[in-house]
């Protein structure tokens, strides 16, 4: 192998290495993972909205059981686990969302327990106070107090604040212990008093739990996370683009160098480089030629030369004497085929330029310019 | 093991209880007395906790809202309820509200089996959770309604299966 050819082989190998490195680094980020992350965040936002809707329905008596709340909490728990599994377990925002979900789960449990207590007492209160309407005689004063109590309780339950009615209600409830009533109504009055006190004490707590559930930041944090994922994906795409952009140039340079190894027949030169690479493999990696490699012939095994002598395996790469390249034997390195190869390389570069220009405002101009140059050959 | 347990539990479906058929519109699925029991069940507020497809089982509640259910007994770890797991002071004596499906064939009742009969369990719940004493007649009516929640397992009535065993 001559010194110049050896250098050229080194250049080709170097370019191939660079090409491999660029190819590896330019790989697009995991689009499927990105998609999965976005879907998971969407599920989080949707289930959070569903939970808040159902909490409101429960609190306004439009939903009479807690099964949908349990289902929403279960789904949110699953989504939280999916979010961690989506490859961003260390993200502090995900940690915050997971912590908020845990707090929310406790809030939902608290809300359900308080709401059930309230509902139980309100149902009983309505049922029991209605029974005093018919009381007369010795129980008439008790019936009067209960009537006032029922009216005030209704205001207390339906008012936004409830504080103005609270003191009056507490006083009325205390009066139930001393108000004259027949002995058979005494136990009913005691039960009414107990339920009334429970409503007074639990309603603010239940409203507090409801307010906390409605002001949770989980949906906002989920949107933040969505933006973070989108930004992360954009950054990864940009990084990949940095390595992708020079790929056509390096590829073209590798092609040209390869052609220069055998200027008359770039295809043969390509085959020679391939054989050289395999030889290097054999020498350094212990790989063996496949039968197809051993019978490699220019034009393919089924071609007209299939029956002829095998293609020169001991090429210049192996130190064989330089063989004659150009068919006409014309002197000089730059033959017509080399010019053609260069033209091809120029087209590739033009294509790469078009890639570079994609998405930019001057893409159209560059496209026209490149097309003109390509047309000019 | 957890997956196996979960799969087994998912197979424990007991549909077609008389009350299910009543809800589906079968006119004679439950008797008028049982319907009165259902009305009492709703009027007294039992339905606030025992609701949903399993008539309970979907929330936690303190045992002994209006009255200490075990005033003279030594408190054991099991009596502390959820507190034994969470150690949160607010969870003392808090238990999961049980489902009432098939309640008539799952005696004894409560976490410590203190009530041997359904009627006894209803009376205890009325005292500790509703703050009132129910009459025998009311207890009988509510128990009648609760018996309509007994379903079938693999086509066989659980009442029959329980009676045989």
pLDDT score of A189 more than 60: yes
CA-based nearest residue in chain B for residue A118:
B48
**Side-chain-side CA neighbours of residue B79 (13 Å):** 11
**Side-chain-side CA neighbours of residue B131 (13 Å):** 22
Which of the listed ranges A72-86, A264-278, A280-294, A340-354 does the model predict with the highest average pLDDT? A72-86
Instruction: Judge contact between A213 and A107, C-beta under 8 A.
Output: yes
Phi-psi region of A319 (alpha: psi -120 to 50; beta: other; left: phi over 0): left
Binary contact (B51, A66; C-beta < 8 A): yes
Q: Determine the Cα–Cα distance for residues B43 and A327; give it in Å rounded to an integer.
A: 106
Q: How large is the average pLDDT for residues A279-299?
A: 45
CB of B116 within 8 Å of a chain A CB? The answer is: no
What global pTM score does this model have?
0.71
Q: Give the pLDDT of residue A3.
A: 75
The single-letter DSSP state of residue A266 is H
Residue B61 has its nearest CB partner, among A65, A113, A187, at A113
Helix (H) or strand (E) holding A31: helix A31-59
A42-60 confidence digits (pLDDT tens)? 999 999 999 999 999 999 9
pLDDT score of A364 more than 80: no
Q: Give the pLDDT of residue A55.
A: 97
Give the gap in angstroms from C-alpha B94 to the nearest C-alpha of chain A. Answer: 10
pLDDT score of A352 more than 60: no
Q: Determine the Cα–Cα distance for residues A253 and B151; give it in Å rounded to an integer.
A: 79
Q: Residues in chain B with pLDDT < 50?
A: none
Q: Give the pLDDT of residue A324.
A: 47
- List the one residue out of A118, A177, A208, A154 whose CA is nearest residue B65: A118
Give the gap in angstroms from C-alpha A49 to the nearest C-alpha of chain B. Answer: 20
Residue A66 has its nearest CB partner, among B46, B59, B131, at B59
Which ipTM score applies to this complex? 0.90
Instruction: Using pLDDT thresholds of 50, 70 and 90, give the confidence band for residue A30.
Output: confident
Q: Determine the Cα–Cα distance for residues B50 and A124; give it in Å rounded to an integer.
A: 15
Q: Angle at which helices A218-244 and A3-25 pack, to 10 degrees?
A: 170
Contacts (Cβ under 8 Å, ≥6 apart) of A82: A40, A43
Give the gap in angstroms from C-alpha A301 to the nearest C-alpha of chain B. Answer: 59
Q: Give the pLDDT of residue A342.
A: 67
Mutate to test the interface with A, among B6, B45, B55, B88 (most CBs of A within 10 A): B45
Average pLDDT over chain A, rounded to an integer: 76
Helix boundaries (H) for A61-216: 67-85, 92-131, 140-158, 163-178, 183-214
Size of interface A-B (CB pairs under 8 A): 70
A148-160 confidence digits (pLDDT tens)? 888 888 888 888 7
Q: Give the pLDDT of residue A235.
A: 87
Residue A26 has φ and ψ, to the nearest 5°, of -90, 0
- List the one residue out of A279, A278, A274 whose CA is nearest residue A258: A274
Peptide bond connecting B23 to the previous residue in cis, omega within 30 degrees of 0:
no
Q: Give the pLDDT of residue A313.
A: 43
Q: Determine the Cα–Cα distance for residues A24 and A20; give it in Å rounded to an integer.
A: 6
Give chain A positions within 8 Å (CB) of B53.
Answer: 65, 67
**Side-chain-side CA neighbours of residue B23 (13 Å):** 10
Give chain A positions within 8 Å (CB) of B133.
Answer: 187
Q: Report residue A367 as tokens.
A: 């496209």
Instruction: Judge contact between A5 and A204, C-beta under 8 A.
Output: no
pLDDT score of A222 more than 80: yes
Q: Give the pLDDT of residue B11.
A: 86
CB of B134 within 8 Å of a chain A CB? The answer is: no
A61-96 confidence digits (pLDDT tens)? 999 999 999 999 999 999 999 988 886 655 888 999
Q: Give the pLDDT of residue A115.
A: 96
Residues in chain A: 377
pLDDT score of A353 more than 80: no
CB of B87 within 8 Å of a chain A CB? The answer is: no
Q: Give the pLDDT of residue A248.
A: 79
Helix boundaries (H) for chain B: 2-10, 18-23, 32-43, 46-49, 83-86, 118-125, 136-147, 158-164
CA-based nearest residue in chain A for residue B67:
A194
Give chain B positions within 8 Å (CB) of A190.
Answer: 131
């Amino acid at each position: 192998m001559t010194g110049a050819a050896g250098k050229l082989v080194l250049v080709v190998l170097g370019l191939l290495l660079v090409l491999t490195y660029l190819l590896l680094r330019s790989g697009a980020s995991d689009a499927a993972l990105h998609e999965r992350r976005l879907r998971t965040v969407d599920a989080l936002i949707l289930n959070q909205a569903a939970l808040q809707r159902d909490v409101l329905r429960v609190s306004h008596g439009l939903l009479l059981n807690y099964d949908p709340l349990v289902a929403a909490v279960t789904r949110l728990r699953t989504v939280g686990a999916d979010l961690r599994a989506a490859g961003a377990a260390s993200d502090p925002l995900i940690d915050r969302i997971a912590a908020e979900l845990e707090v929310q789960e406790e809030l939902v449990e608290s809300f359900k327990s308080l709401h059930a207590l309230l509902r139980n007492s309100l149902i009983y209160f309505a049922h029991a106070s209605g029974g005093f309407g018919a009381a007369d005689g010795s129980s008439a004063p008790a019936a009067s107090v209960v009537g006032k109590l029922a009216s005030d309780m209704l205001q207390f339950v339906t008012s936004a604040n409830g504080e103005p009615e609270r003191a009056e209600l507490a006083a009325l409830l205390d009066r139930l212990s001393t108000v004259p009533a027949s002995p058979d109504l005494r136990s009913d009055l005691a039960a009414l008093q107990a339920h009334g006190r429970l409503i007074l004490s639990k309603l603010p707590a239940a409203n507090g739990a409801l307010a906390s559930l409605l002001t949770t930041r989980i949906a906002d944090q989920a949107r933040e996370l969505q933006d973070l994922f989108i930004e992360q994906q954009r950054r990864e795409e940009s990084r990949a683009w940095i390595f992708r952009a020079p790929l056509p140039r390096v590829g073209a340079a590798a092609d040209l160098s390869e052609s220069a190894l055998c200027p008359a027949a770039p295809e043969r030169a390509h085959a020679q480089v391939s054989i050289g690479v395999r030889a290097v493999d054999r020498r350094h990696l212990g790989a063996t030629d496949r039968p197809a490699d051993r019978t490699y012939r220019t034009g393919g095994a089924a071609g007209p030369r299939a029956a002829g002598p095998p293609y020169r395996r001991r090429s210049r790469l192996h130190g064989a004497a330089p063989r004659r390249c150009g068919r006409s034997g014309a002197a000089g390195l730059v033959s017509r085929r080399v010019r053609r190869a260069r033209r091809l390389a120029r087209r590739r570069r033009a294509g790469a330029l078009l890639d570079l220009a994609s998405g930019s405002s001057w893409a159209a101009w560059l496209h026209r310019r490149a097309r003109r140059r390509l047309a000019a050959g | 093991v957890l997956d196996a347990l979960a799969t087994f539990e998912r197979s424990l479906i007991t549909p077609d209880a008389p009350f299910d058929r009543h809800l589906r519109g079968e006119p004679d699925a439950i008797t008028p007395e049982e319907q009165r029991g259902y009305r009492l069940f709703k009027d007294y507020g039992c339905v606030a906790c025992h609701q949903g497809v399993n008539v309970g089982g979907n929330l936690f509640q303190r045992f002994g809202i209006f009255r200490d259910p075990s005033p003279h007994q030594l408190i054991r770890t099991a009596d502390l309820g959820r507190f034994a797991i969470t150690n949160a002071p607010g969870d003392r004596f808090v238990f999961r509200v049980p489902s009432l499906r098939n309640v008539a064939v799952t005696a004894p009742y409560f976490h410590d089996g203190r009530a041997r009969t359904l009627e006894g369990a209803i009376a205890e719940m009325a005292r500790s959770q509703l703050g009132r004493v129910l009459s025998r007649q009311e207890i009988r009516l509510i128990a009648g309604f609760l018996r309509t929640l007994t379903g079938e397992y693999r086509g066989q009535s659980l009442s029959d299966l329980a009676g045989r065993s």
